[in-house]
Structure 1
């Protein structure tokens, strides 16, 4: 975990050493605020199984290797790995083959709360595959954690059959330097996200996204086995203008932005302190994503579409404005809280998200109606 305090500037840190979803099992933890991601992922299962049907069945004498990139620390990754392994087991059996042993790699940045994730893993069955698959209390695969940035190499060459990554590739490897440089025309003065920012600022984010996704593609092309497949989901947008970040813009560019401005107006932080913080997220358009994949040339696009994911807010009482306000604040804090804590410290972070909740409460009805996420969904195989 990065050190806390007002003298800490996120932009001067190695982002990959500190960026993570909020760990543990508290109210604002990712583990307790990722129900929407679970719903969105399950609504795409038919697309995932299509991608799995395109994976070449290798010799049962060799393990079948699955890697979840950007696994985070909740139960969603465990559920999806189970889905993948059960589907591949069924394919082997339907082909008259004995299923191989399965190996699952859970990968995220070193700052990820792997301890919480591994505590959620059921014990390895140590019995037959059929017994493992029939039991909710055992897993049917060997598990390992792989810390590191997925914008670089993570695995040996030609070692992975299936790459899965959901709700992660919109996170950039860094905030572009020019966005935080007062001398640059791309300086994002007065803002903590690119939603509604200047064109030059948005283009700097777009360039960073292109560079990052290109590195991701090059790395996976070396690590994937011949006949393997890759299924990717990330936040996306339907508008061609990158300054309109869609659902991500509403999450980070409205109440969250206004809460930062509240701290400035109240004298709790300076405007310079606010301007040194930017969320390293870019929601690409379909064309943004396609251009990078085609320019790299390592993969064939089997499917590429924008998928309506729905709201990131899961509430039990839609008529309770205070619950909606808390849900938005917790959702925002679960994914950005670690960065905020590092930039302004725990105490001011509490103040910030309290204001997010208050502002969201006052606009609860509009939030439920307007806050919708779209996702880029891609199924790729080696060219």
Structure 2
């Protein structure tokens, strides 16, 4: 983990590395489907709003793309390729060289990422380790920034949710889904702080006329967190942990001191944060629905969903509980995955992904 602010190093829970059974490489079909839903929207935003005249006087003939929270692939390569193809359509014969920067925490498995770079790629690749909750690139050096399913991770867990003396103490739960308002408010405040820092950093790094696309989980206005897939999945994992605690394999205090540092925003909240920042205009904001067919996402196999959840969430569980308990949690999840699928099938899945295209003023 690295950050320009040495006094505040963000927590890092990278996706599972390598290419084994529980690796993110082999278990990220949902994230791929989410990115595919956004492809046409990215194409349209670039075609209509990317201001190429602002790049014509650049000192070097290079178009610089950053993928923030890239993980280990292969999804990041597909996203970058989609962006490049849309830019090529826009530029025509005036095509620049492409430089692509893959960013994630230093704990990310960059070895696997770079070992699996597409051999026929038409861009220069570089890794940029560090948290996107802070500056990463020189001023006005990027032309396009992209982040898919990464900005919902908080830079840190709100301290009050694990403090017994706080009204926001989240006793017996690992997420805010069905918790008192004080718990939700603590998560929301941390997200707003993180996103303000994120937008300020990107405003400095993007050239005028450059664009940023954020693809993130969202919750439609008026829908309770307990009804969307993310809330259901995290509650399910919490119930498994409490089951293990009741059997005496871990203490309930260990569960009380653990929360998943993830927040699901609303479209209105993101629009307000962008407006407050003041450096970007909203090119396009649209809620999409990659979760509409749960069975399709997980290839009709409940165990596949269990593996996908493990690939994305194992790191945060292992940091707190250790490997033995992690195996317990996800083995039980695998056994109960049919129950989870049934709950997800009855969830609210319309409009649970936000596509946000911003242009640097």
TM, length-normalised to structure 2: 0.91
**What is the match of residue 213 of structure 1?**
195
For 2:317 and 2:157, locate their aligned partners in 1 and report how far apart those are by CA, in whole Å: 14
Structure 2 residue 81 is the aligned partner of structure 1 residue 99: no
For 2:109 and 2:227, locate their aligned partners in 1 and report how far apart those are by CA, in whole Å: 28
For 1:15 and 1:240, locate their aligned partners in 2 and report how far apart those are by CA, in whole Å: 35
**What is the match of residue 129 of structure 1?**
none
What do residues 202-226 of structure 1 show as CA deviations (whole Å, max 9, x unaligned)?
Answer: 0000000100010011000000011
Structure 1 residue 246: deviation in Å? 1.9
For 1:368 and 1:244, locate their aligned partners in 2 and report how far apart those are by CA, in whole Å: 13
Superposition RMSD in Å: 2.0
Q: Secondary structure at the match of 1:225?
A: strand
**What is the match of residue 112 of structure 1?**
108
**What is the match of residue 332 of structure 2?**
355
- Give the conservation status (yes or no) of the 8 Å contact 1:174–1:280: yes
- Give the conservation status (yes or no) of the 8 Å contact 2:62–2:99: yes
1:301-320 alignment runs, 5 A limit: 301-310=282-291, 314-316=297-299, 318=300
| Higher mean C-alpha deviation, range 216-225 or range 26-35 | 26-35
Structure 1 residue 101: deviation in Å? 0.8
**What is the match of residue 4 of structure 2?**
none
Q: Check 1:190–1:114 CA distance in 2 against 1; reply closer, same or farther (3 A cut).
A: same
Q: Structure 2: state its 5+ residue gaps.
A: 2-7
**What is the match of residue 260 of structure 2?**
279
What do residues 111-159 of structure 1 show as CA deviations (whole Å, max 9, x unaligned)?
Answer: 1111111111024xxxxxxxxxxxxxx1110000101111100000000
Structure 1 residue 243: deviation in Å? 4.9
For 1:40 and 1:246, locate their aligned partners in 2 and report how far apart those are by CA, in whole Å: 15
Q: Secondary structure at the match of 2:94?
A: coil
Structure 2 residue 204 is the aligned partner of structure 1 residue 222: yes
For 2:359 and 2:134, locate their aligned partners in 1 and report how far apart those are by CA, in whole Å: 19
**What is the match of residue 295 of structure 1?**
276
Q: Which of 238, 245, 249 does residue 264 from structure 1 map onto?
A: 245
Q: Which of 235, 252, 262 does residue 234 from structure 2 map onto?
A: 252
Structure 2 residue 133 is the aligned partner of structure 1 residue 151: yes
Structure 2 residue 353 is the aligned partner of structure 1 residue 375: yes
TM, length-normalised to structure 1: 0.86
Structure 1 residue 363: deviation in Å? 4.8
Q: Check 1:312–1:295 CA distance in 2 against 1; reply closer, same or farther (3 A cut).
A: farther
For 2:360 and 2:9, locate their aligned partners in 1 and report how far apart those are by CA, in whole Å: 30
For 2:196 and 2:343, locate their aligned partners in 1 and report how far apart those are by CA, in whole Å: 37
Q: Secondary structure at the match of 1:191?
A: coil
Q: Check 1:366–1:199 CA distance in 2 against 1; reply closer, same or farther (3 A cut).
A: closer
For 2:45 and 2:340, locate their aligned partners in 1 and report how far apart those are by CA, in whole Å: 40
Structure 1 residue 371: deviation in Å? 7.2
Structure 2 residue 26 is the aligned partner of structure 1 residue 37: no
- Give the conservation status (yes or no) of the 8 Å contact 2:229–2:344: no
For 1:328 and 1:150, locate their aligned partners in 2 and report how far apart those are by CA, in whole Å: 28
Q: Which of 148, 160, 175 does residue 193 from structure 1 map onto?
A: 175
Q: Check 1:362–1:232 CA distance in 2 against 1; reply closer, same or farther (3 A cut).
A: closer
Aligned residues: 347
| Higher mean C-alpha deviation, range 268-277 or range 284-293 | 284-293
Q: Check 1:198–1:348 CA distance in 2 against 1; reply closer, same or farther (3 A cut).
A: same
Q: Check 1:163–1:363 CA distance in 2 against 1; reply closer, same or farther (3 A cut).
A: closer
Structure 1 residue 375: deviation in Å? 1.1
